[in-house]
Chain A
Amino acid sequence: MTVGEEATDLSRVEIRTGRLRRMWEGTSIIFASRTATIGLIIVLFWLTVAAFAPLLTPYTSLEQDWKAPNQGPSSAHFLGTDELGRDLWSRLIYGARIVLLVLPISEKLWIPGGTALWGVFAALIVGMTLGLVSGYYGGWIDEIVMRLLDAMMAVPVILLYLIIMTALGASALNVVIAVTIVGTPGIARLVRSLTLDIRTREYIRASETRGESAWYIMFVEILPNARGPIIVDAMLRVGYAIFAMGTLGFLGLGLPPPSPDWGSMVAKGQEFILAGSPWAALWPSVAIASLVVGLNLLADGLREESMRYQ
């Protein structure tokens, strides 16, 4: 019943056309929603501290101070120290790097793009392809792909993680693989349902009557129009991936020690809670919680706002 949302800005169209305008629209949509703005601020905070970690702390994540284990916040150690006297703030922000900025493949080789991001990215690639193929072709291809994915989805996630991580061993790359395997079915399902919807549109029929190849129709005609929900979903999934990383770390299946992995920091710190030093468990918990909540606020706000645009 709302009138006039769709055609109000014709006059401005001439001024700003094309890519720039669309990019502006994309970002302005975030600030239109208070929820999304708060989420963005939290996420940006973590991105910033991760990017400038060496400038923000005098310690490295591994430096041990034997004289001061399990300390509370002090002037020397902003957030306190863990059981080996390592600075918690340093471990926290270097941990954020692993989550958001770099993927440590081996001790020497670090590639850009955080562990969580790589996991989601890989799951997106695999899931999108499966979903597009399955949704566009339909028939027995769809049947087979979907039954397999159903079977995968029927397996409790924790079991998948357990099996994958015990098989592959604890490492950042294996965390990526685990997140990919667990995330793929969900993305495939989403993309499939979007594809099923979009392929009934007449522009798809138009390209079919032109005799376009299935590849062209799937990736050029369908995929760009499914991007909105996929982007929102991907953001939520980065949240899940951080969730999963934390959980795996907590179970001792994540990054091997002494990496500043948030989950394993919590697991180690928990042992000392009852001994009277809660800090080592508290701070990484706060970090995980805030980052995950931030991402979800951002995604929720975006989704709400883009719904209102339609």
Chain B
Amino acid sequence: MNKSNHTNPASVLEVDHLTIAYETRKGDVEAVRNVSFQVREGETVGLVGESGCGKSTIAFGIVNFLGPNGRVVDGSVCFQGKELIGRSEAELKRLRGDRIAMVYQDPMQALNPSVRLGEQLAEVLTCHQQISEDEAWDRSIQMLKRVNMPDPENVMIRYPHQISGGQQQRVVIAMAMLNNPALLIMDEPTTALDVTVEAAVLDLIEELKKDFRAANIFITHNLGVVARVSDHLCVMYAGQMVEKGPVEQVFRRPCHPYTMGLLASIPRLGDTKADCVLHPIRGRVPPPAERPRDECIFAPRCNYVTERCREAWPKFEKITQEHVARCIYAQEIDSRPRTVRRRPGGAKDEGLVQKETRGDSLLSFKELKIYYPQESNSVVSLFGLGEKKIVKAVDDVSVRLSKGRTLGIVGESGCGKSTLAKGLIGLEPITDGSVEFLGIDITQSVSERDTALIREMQMVFQNPDSTLNPTYSIGMQIARPIRKFKTVPKNQVKNEVIRLLKAVRLDDFYYDRLPRQLSGGEKQRVGIARALASRPDLIICDEPVSALDVSVQAAVINLLLEIQEIYGSSMIFIAHDLSVVRFFSDDIAVMYLGQIVEIGPAEVIYAPPYHPYTEALLSAVPIPDPEAEQRQIRLSGNVPSALNPPSGCRFHTRCPRRNELLPDGGKICETEVPPWRSTETGHRILCHIPLEDLSRLDSVVHLSG
């Protein structure tokens, strides 16, 4: 990653004072303002920022593909010494796909569903080079081999929907690399992928960079990913570049308050609520039409703001040769009081964590199974004949949750964690097993449950845009559960709603607002207030922060922690982000294909002994620290279908450990269901490999500092 090895490689792209505006009904709106950066051969520049900061606009601006209402207002884009702005469409067309290639966020959308992959690949060659169809075909196969695609000849004649998401992204990358482009622009290329798949794709991108020595632009919102792949980092905020520099320097010594805020607002892998505080950035990103022009754009949200910040638009301040920040205090900000992440004196005295597992069980389920039939495509199924296919979404899961504690459930998409939550809350019929909540059996569906029981278990949902009914005002939506469960007398409902709004840090004028007038974070708060309205004992949070911007995530996490502290509610926290789950939970369960493979107190899950799957997950997590060391363990193959889960240990098809640690190459894993192996700390692992062997494995992650 250290680029000083190469003596100043040639600059491929120079973006200079680029300003891009979109035409709207209310006049031109600047989406990108005065952005400059350069990309050299064999180097990756990461553009990082939250949604709406203009990073994708820059990508499309470079190739001048801004749609009918967008245009470059000012600045220049210089590619290999030639100016791109103002070039004719025909000339740009020659460059696109040939010298400049792009990789997109959602590969399924980016590939044409009704054209064979081979044709989509080969046409990139035939239209830019004088080359025969056959040769193009062969070279496409070679490129697919290069991106580690299994069985490339076969993939060539397939359609996009027939291969998995990770493979689709490999195809898109292969397509981009076919003409050996000088510049490769990747727009959130791994955001739609699961952690383990993401890690493999990032590995590939790294490899390709070394081999092809293209200049890369990597756009993402994920600080962990950007720390891993970039050499240079550009931090974007509200259409402006606020800081840029070599990635290690920016992470080690962020000099713009926004960058500092971002880094302070995400938990790093291993941080816990006991010893760390997250610092959200207050306020919200101003919409493009309301951005001040002659003052620091970040001023309204900045902790260090002074009158001087509002006097003029700040220039870039130099910190080192290559490291600059658009803040007038950039030089000295280091000496100002910094956000402290560590809680003073560690954890033990905090009321947040109950180290001793209290005996009172709130919720316990044993051998829980949730199956549902899959619609079959055969003719016989019409008559109700034939074999019924069963999806085993949750299979044989047992957990016990004590009062006041938080259980985190992690796993990749399709592992059954959301189905489990639905089953508990009574929205998905439970096939088998027992569930006890407050000592009452709750295997029946929600419509058959007692109202008194329903109010004790509420849910917080993932997507802020769909968590609230767009038709009704915030006040009405929070009032509904209050009225339904009669938590307070009728004439006090409004007061109660306002009290709840205050509890989630919203002012009372939100009472009359409609959901669309709120930002994502605010909507999520309302969702939490609504769940709190019935004063539940248990709150199930289904990915409550994963759809939020980084700076807002912290605020919501803090809010949930606070609520837990005040109300003493127990929580089930479902997420795919291991750092967040680790931060939030007391106990953690790791799920794979409908089963829990490892469960125990949070601190022991993240240290050896690991279940091989947990180990792989931890090794794949992107860590927002370029100096962190992670062992590279990659899973092969795809997640098997829950329709037909593998025999024996469900993980055996992808397990990287069974060959080396079990006699016979782990034949036993294919046939026999593994036993639970437990330690005295309450840590249990579902694996054939003995605990002693697992304990000997090295820790996956070594953080710096």
A and B associate in one complex: yes
* Those of B1-52 within 8 Å (CB) of chain A: 22, 24, 26, 29, 31, 52
Among candidates B29, B458, B477, residue contacting A4 with C-beta atoms closer than 8 Å:
B29
Q: Name the A residues within 8 Å of B425 (CB-CB).
A: 209
New A-B pairs, 5, CB < 8 Å, besides A2-B67, A4-B22, A203-B466: A4-B31, A17-B512, A203-B469, A205-B461, A206-B459
Confirm or deny: A15 has a beta carbon within 8 angstroms of a beta carbon on chain B.
no
Known: A2-B24, A4-B288. A206 touches B57 (CB 8 A): no
Q: Name the B residues within 8 Å of A2 (CB-CB).
A: 22, 24, 67, 69
A224 to B70, CA, bound (A): 35
Known: A211-B447, A225-B470. A4 touches B70 (CB 8 A): no
A212 to B447, CA, bound (A): 8
Question: B480 and A8: CB pair below 8 A?
Answer: no
Residue of chain B at shortest CB distance from A32 = B25
Contact with B along A268-308 (1 / 0, CB 8 A): 00000000000000000000000000000000000000000
Among candidates A1, A8, A207, residue contacting B289 with C-beta atoms closer than 8 Å:
A8
Confirm or deny: A7 has a beta carbon within 8 angstroms of a beta carbon on chain B.
yes
Question: A1 and B57: CB pair below 8 A?
Answer: yes
Question: B427 and A209: CB pair below 8 A?
Answer: yes
Sample (18) of A-B pairs whose CB atoms are under 8 Å apart: A1-B22, A1-B70, A3-B31, A4-B289, A17-B513, A202-B462, A202-B466, A202-B527, A203-B467, A203-B477, A205-B461, A206-B527, A206-B530, A209-B454, A210-B454, A210-B481, A211-B451, A225-B469
Residue of chain B at shortest CB distance from A7 = B287
A212 to B484, CA, bound (A): 9
A230 to B536, CA, bound (A): 37
Residue of chain B at shortest CB distance from A210 = B481
* Those of B429-472 within 8 Å (CB) of chain A: 446-447, 449, 451, 454, 457-459, 461-463, 466-472
Report the minimum CB–CB distance from B311 to chain A (whole Å): 24
Confirm or deny: A107 has a beta carbon within 8 angstroms of a beta carbon on chain B.
no
* Those of A1-46 within 8 Å (CB) of chain B: 1-8, 10-11, 13-14, 17-18
Confirm or deny: A208 has a beta carbon within 8 angstroms of a beta carbon on chain B.
yes
Report the minimum CB–CB distance from A90 to chain B (whole Å): 45
A256 to B70, CA, bound (A): 59
Confirm or deny: B517 has a beta carbon within 8 angstroms of a beta carbon on chain A.
yes
A90 to B630, CA, bound (A): 87
Among candidates B29, B457, B471, residue contacting A3 with C-beta atoms closer than 8 Å:
B29
Q: Name the A residues within 8 Å of B66 (CB-CB).
A: 1
Confirm or deny: A67 has a beta carbon within 8 angstroms of a beta carbon on chain B.
no
> Which one of A201, A203, A212 has the greatest number of beta carbons of chain B within 10 Å?
A203
A6 to B527, CA, bound (A): 20
Interface bin, chain B? 35 or more
| Contact surface of B with A, Cβ cutoff 8 Å | 22, 24, 26, 29, 31, 52, 54, 56-57, 60, 66-67, 69-70, 287-290, 425-427, 446-447, 449, 451, 454, 457-459, 461-463, 466-472, 477, 480-481, 484-485, 509, 512-513, 516-517, 519, 527, 530-531, 534
Question: B516 and A6: CB pair below 8 A?
Answer: yes
Confirm or deny: A83 has a beta carbon within 8 angstroms of a beta carbon on chain B.
no
Q: Name the A residues within 8 Å of B287 (CB-CB).
A: 4, 6-8, 10
Confirm or deny: A142 has a beta carbon within 8 angstroms of a beta carbon on chain B.
no
Question: A209 and B288: CB pair below 8 A?
Answer: no
State the main secondary structure of chain B at its contact with A.
Answer: mixed
A3 to B26, CA, bound (A): 12
Question: A13 and B469: CB pair below 8 A?
Answer: no
Known: A4-B22, A212-B484. A10 touches B446 (CB 8 A): no
Question: A5 and B446: CB pair below 8 A?
Answer: no
Residue of chain B at shortest CB distance from A221 = B469
Residue of chain A at shortest CB distance from B291 = A4
Report the minimum CB–CB distance from A23 to chain B (whole Å): 14
Question: Which 8 pairs of residues, A with B, have the shortest CB-CB distance?
Answer: A202-B461, A4-B288, A224-B471, A201-B466, A211-B454, A7-B287, A203-B469, A202-B467
Question: B517 and A10: CB pair below 8 A?
Answer: yes
A102 to B700, CA, bound (A): 78
A3 to B287, CA, bound (A): 8
Question: B22 and A205: CB pair below 8 A?
Answer: no
Question: B60 and A205: CB pair below 8 A?
Answer: no
Report the minimum CB–CB distance from B457 to chain A (whole Å): 8
Residue of chain B at shortest CB distance from A308 = B25
Report the minimum CB–CB distance from B647 to chain A (whole Å): 32
Report the minimum CB–CB distance from B445 to chain A (whole Å): 10
Report the minimum CB–CB distance from B8 to chain A (whole Å): 36
A123 to B381, CA, bound (A): 35
Report the minimum CB–CB distance from B449 to chain A (whole Å): 7
A7 to B705, CA, bound (A): 41
Question: A3 and B513: CB pair below 8 A?
Answer: no
Known: A2-B69, A4-B24, A13-B517. A205 touches B451 (CB 8 A): no
Report the minimum CB–CB distance from A32 to chain B (whole Å): 8
Q: Name the B residues within 8 Å of A3 (CB-CB).
A: 22, 29, 31, 52, 54, 57, 288
